[in-house]
Structure 1
Amino acid sequence: MKNHMMNAVLYDRYGGPEVLYLGRVPRPEPAPGEVLVKVHAFSVNGGELAARAGRLRLVTGRRFPQRVGLDFTGEVAALGAGATRLTVGDRVWGVLGRTSGFGSAAEYLTVPADRVGQVPDGLDLVDAAALLVAIIAVTALRDKAALRPGERLLVRGAAGGVGHAAVQLGRACGAEVTALARAANLEFVRGLGAHEAVDHRSVRPAQLGRFDVVLDTVGTDLRAIRRLLDPGGRMVTIAFDLNRPVASLGYIAASAIHGRGRVRFFSGNPVQKHLDDLARHVVEGKLRPAVHTVFPLEETAAAHQELEAGGVQGKYVVRVV
């Protein structure tokens, strides 16, 4: 495969979705312990939008061109030395690691073998791409918040990628789920299993009542949302205020020692065991995919634009092949 080229989505400067273009880059070869994946689909995530816009430039730097795409589904195309768990042709899914950056918006990618799992039989690879973000919801509710049957759960940003998975998982766990979303998305989140669906623009946080667990996917107004916790309540956020990052992250850190209810913040970094766990949830019927729109690879910029506009129900997915 040496000197072979492939299509990939790139950008040469920070900015809006219009900076994205389809370019040509060398097709990678798997190093020892890696697999080469022929990418079938990936979803569009908020973190890569922030990176493309330059809001994370302290991390992403100023070396261009840069890439987009965080998760992926596809087929194993080749194996590096020592990658014996998988075979060529296996249907796989995964998420690029924190040290790998972005880059799944491409025809091929290489990834360590321990960072991919096998897609459940019968699950379409486009649908599978929409479900990958559910790993974060599983970790947040089960591992970080220890959600229990009968508890009251508030999901903020309930119609989005992580949020719509959290509503389903909360209902499957036996929790009483309140979903905060746009008015246009309330019927959608009710259909996912929310006991109560509330237009986030129509109420103040204090009017929502009290909760045992809060899952926040928005990152703003964390102080007001935290006040909704009952004694012993737990709050998990997967986002922070990108307009006030230092203050927002500082508040999250301070919550561990001040006031009632620590705010737990984390970002996903899944490996095989997490992917296998997700597959079990799918097979058991606890999760079903919600694909809002499918875009071709050359229209990745349009997918970014749509996600930035808001109002997504589930996930925007880009099909590569």
Structure 2
Amino acid sequence: MNDRMMKAVLYDRYGGPEVLYTARVPRPEPAPGEVLVKVSAFSVNGGELAVRSGRLRLLSGRSFPQRVGLDFTGEVAVPGAGGTRFTAGDRVWGVLGRTSGFGSAAEYVAVPAERVGRLPEGLDPVAAAALPVATTAVTALRDKAGLRPGERLLVRGAAGGVGNAAVQLGRAYGAEVTALARAANLDFVRGLGAHEAVDHRAVRPAELGRFDVVLDTAGTDLRAFRRLLRPGGRMVTIAFDLRRPVTSLGYLAASAVHGPGRVRFFSGDPTRTHLDDLARQVAEGRLRPAVDTVFPLEETAAAHRALEAGGVRGKYVVRVG
């Protein structure tokens, strides 16, 4: 078998999960400042589903084939040139940067060294693939919202990839955590540390009370959730309404300059510093991986289909090695 080739997940047109297929493609060669990682596992993220479906084709273009996979765990295969701090065999995790696009759904990935961190000792690499996205929750709560002990925190989408991490971190930071999730997932989010778990289909936002910090992972009904802020409250969202992108992004921009309770919007783009900080959060017991189901690489389409169906508890992870 040609060791210059590898398996990867591709698609040749926009559409549902059925457009995904596994093929053999050339193995990447690391450029100066990059490392080549032999991938153990990756997780499925909502953003790549939106791209694959074509809802963001104005940004993703019409050049095919395209790839999927944003985060990864694995081992360094080739440290690369340019003075990286890694050696072959190092256990690592990371997230491809915004300019790199997708591509971790493969046996190997070449990635800038500043996007790679060392995997915490004792952490299973497959389970660990559920955690790189948690850098977004750390940034949202600690850096963007400045969450303080004793404050009331509302996490919308609390059972998902970012949401479950936010529940755990909010509790660790000393906040009083209210988790919004599906009815079937209420016990799950309570187990993560939520003080109160609420079925998001059974209540209207106005019935939830007032909060110091609202973390939104859905991007819809932002006005309604913004009204829940106490004086001095902060709202952070990591999503916008894909059904009405122009209107939704316009509202987010306007909220920065009009009225109290600015809605802070950001898209996670973690570097090694974020990944090393995440490793400390894990080591200190603030955070643990939450894996719903593990799929083999050849069933990546099934993992996409499961995430689109809703109801995930933590992350869907795809095992590569």
SS at match of 1:132: coil
Shift of 1:84: 3.2
Q: Which residue of 1 aligns with 2:227?
A: 227
Q: Do residues 212 (structure 1) and 212 (structure 2) align?
A: yes
Asked if the contact 1:28/1:109 (under 8 Å) is kept, the reply is yes
2:153 and 2:174 mapped to 1: Cα distance? Answer: 10
SS at match of 2:170: helix
Superposed, 1:172-321 pairs within 5 Å as 172-321=172-321
| Number of equivalent positions | 321
Asked if the contact 1:11/1:21 (under 8 Å) is kept, the reply is yes
Letter in 1 for 2:300: T
2:20 and 2:4 mapped to 1: Cα distance? Answer: 22
Letter in 2 for 1:291: V
Q: Which residue of 2 aligns with 1:121?
A: 121
Asked if the contact 2:34/2:84 (under 8 Å) is kept, the reply is no
Letter in 2 for 1:242: L
Letter in 1 for 2:112: P
Q: Do residues 17 (structure 1) and 17 (structure 2) align?
A: yes
Q: Which residue of 2 aligns with 1:35?
A: 35
Asked if the contact 1:3/1:26 (under 8 Å) is kept, the reply is no
Asked if the contact 1:44/1:303 (under 8 Å) is kept, the reply is yes
Asked if the contact 1:296/1:320 (under 8 Å) is kept, the reply is yes
Q: Do residues 76 (structure 1) and 76 (structure 2) align?
A: yes
Which is further off, 124-133 or 144-153? 124-133
SS at match of 1:260: coil
Q: Which residue of 2 aligns with 1:135?
A: 135
Superposed, 1:51-130 pairs within 5 Å as 51-130=51-130
Letter in 1 for 2:44: V
Q: CA RMSD in A?
A: 1.1
Q: Which residue of 2 aligns with 1:145?
A: 145
TM-score by length of 1: 0.99
SS at match of 1:130: coil
Shift of 1:4: 1.3
Letter in 1 for 2:50: A
The answer for unaligned runs of 5 or more in structure 2 is: none
SS at match of 2:212: strand
SS at match of 1:72: strand
Q: Which residue of 2 aligns with 1:165?
A: 165
Asked if the contact 1:8/1:107 (under 8 Å) is kept, the reply is yes
SS at match of 1:35: strand
2:309 and 2:283 mapped to 1: Cα distance? Answer: 33
1:83 and 1:116 mapped to 2: Cα distance? Answer: 14
Percent of aligned pairs sharing the same letter: 83
Letter in 2 for 1:49: L
1:259-307 Cα distance to aligned partner (Å, 9 max, x none): 2200000011111110000000000000011100000000000000000
Shift of 1:318: 0.1
Letter in 2 for 1:320: V
Letter in 2 for 1:191: G
Shift of 1:258: 1.2
Structure 1: which 4+ aligned runs deviate by more than 3 Å?
none
SS at match of 1:275: helix
1:100 and 1:23 mapped to 2: Cα distance? Answer: 20
Asked if the contact 1:157/1:163 (under 8 Å) is kept, the reply is yes
2:306 and 2:77 mapped to 1: Cα distance? Answer: 31
Letter in 2 for 1:253: A
Letter in 2 for 1:185: N
TM-score by length of 2: 0.99
Which is further off, 182-191 or 254-263? 254-263
Shift of 1:83: 3.3
1:84 and 1:9 mapped to 2: Cα distance? Answer: 28
Shift of 1:3: 7.9
2:73 and 2:251 mapped to 1: Cα distance? Answer: 36
Asked if the contact 1:212/1:233 (under 8 Å) is kept, the reply is yes
1:127-164 Cα distance to aligned partner (Å, 9 max, x none): 11011111000000000000000000000000000000
